[in-house]
Amino acid sequence: MSMSLPPASGGVDAGLVVDPEVHGVSLWRGAVRRLRRNPTAIVGALIVLAFVVLAVIAPLLTSYEPGSAEWAGDVTPTSVPGPSEDHWLGLDRFGSDMWTQMVYGARQSLVYGVVSTAIGLAAGATLGALAGGFGAVGGRFGGWVDTTVMRCVDVMLSIPSLLLAVSIAAVLGQNSYAVMIAIGTAQVPIFARLLRGSMLSQGKADYVLAADALGLRKGRIVMSHVLPNSVGPTIVQATLNLATAIIEVAALSYLGLGTSDPAVAEWGRMLVAAQDRFDAAPRLAVLPGVAIAITALGFTLFGEAMREALDPRTRR
């Protein structure tokens, strides 16, 4: 630790006059600084950014409509027209422009991924905060609330996540909302357990004891001290879950539980449709598959770099 100035006469301020590079940097600002220096984080962020931009400006990138099947006459069982001047990725097996399908597919994946993760995060974090909050500061019913909530989470965890999503999607029917709610619900236990865990460990920290000794109300301690200090891992997990959500949406489509609207371009369904034309046009399967993998890679790289940046053990 390098002191940049000799101790001031007051004495009280002395401790504050230290290298701002080492101290005085908040957890989050420090994390952002470390992220900017990490090549993995930059690659991940660039992939995510490219994906989001493609998804948002999709209508500007193509002059065709998704799922139009305008050129269905050009597609035969043995041949699918490849790249040409009008269609630089060729046509798909239903006679729609492949590039249009791909960019609108990105849009669909982004919406599905973000909304389902938001559902999972909102519900899971609420449950986790409830269990963790009551568990951390006790109170007469603290342990009881914690146990009840976590037993419910255990029930959800007793079903493998994709099967949980499958059973929910089967009840809600074949539409976009069903897919998002199903994938979101399957994520609830992950967030609930994670947030509860970090809140319980924060609850044992000295500053909570200090706040308690100062006579702060328990609700206040949880909301303004324990919770803000516990959300880091949960936010990181949400980034990582975006990758899983995008893959699982495609998996539900693959299992025939996605939306059945032909005007909606969706990577998972494109993959299914391409299977029986693999000999004629392997790109129909490879393009959406690789797109899913690259998008998932972007969120995974960025999420892991974020976890590393927020981890106090790796801070330098």
Partner 1 sequence: MLRFVSRRLALMVPVLVGLSLLLFAWVRALPGDPARALLGERATPDGIARVNAAYGFDQPLFVQYFTYVKALLHGDFGSSIQTGRPVMDSFLERFPATIELGFAALLLAVVVGVPLGYLAARHQGRALDTAVVSGSLLGVVTPVFFLAILLKLVFADQLHWLPTAQRQNPRIEATHITNFYVLDGLMTREWDAAWDALVHLALPAIALGTIPLAIIVRITRASVAEVMHEDYVRTAESKGLTATVISRRHILRNALLPVVTTIGLQAGLLFSGAVLTETVFSFNGIGQYLFEAIGQRDYPVLQGFIICIAIVYSLINLLVDVAYGVIDPRVRAS
> Could you list the residues that contact partner 1 (CB under 8 A)?
151-152, 154-155, 158-163, 166-167, 170-171, 173, 243, 247, 250-251, 254-257, 271, 275, 278-279, 282, 285-286, 289, 292-294, 296-297, 300-301
Nearer Cβ to partner 1, position 224 or 260?
Answer: 260
Residues 6+ apart with CB under 8 A from 187: 116, 117, 119, 120, 121, 124, 161, 241, 244, 245
Compute the least distance from the CB of residue 24 to partner 1, in Å: 31
Nearer Cβ to partner 1, position 171 or 214?
Answer: 171
Nearer Cβ to partner 1, position 155 or 263?
Answer: 155
Nearer Cβ to partner 1, position 150 or 227?
Answer: 150
CA dist 22 and 1 (Å) reads 8
Compute the least distance from the CB of residue 268 to partner 1, in Å: 8
Dihedral over Cα of 203, 209, 211, 217: its sign: positive
Compute the least distance from the CB of residue 30 to partner 1, in Å: 23
Sequence-ordered alpha helix ranges (H) in the chain = 27-37, 39-56, 58-61, 98-137, 142-157, 161-172, 176-203, 206-213, 218-221, 227-254, 267-274, 283-310
Question: Token pair of 117, please?
Answer: 């993760």
CB 179 within 8 A of CB 250: no
Compute the least distance from the CB of residue 168 to partner 1, in Å: 9
Nearer Cβ to partner 1, position 54 or 227?
Answer: 54
Nearer Cβ to partner 1, position 52 or 273?
Answer: 273
Compute the least distance from the CB of residue 277 to partner 1, in Å: 11
**How would you label 268-289 residue by residue, b for 16+ Cβ within 10 Å and e otherwise?**
bbbbbbbeebeebbebbbebbb
Compute the least distance from the CB of residue 86 to partner 1, in Å: 28
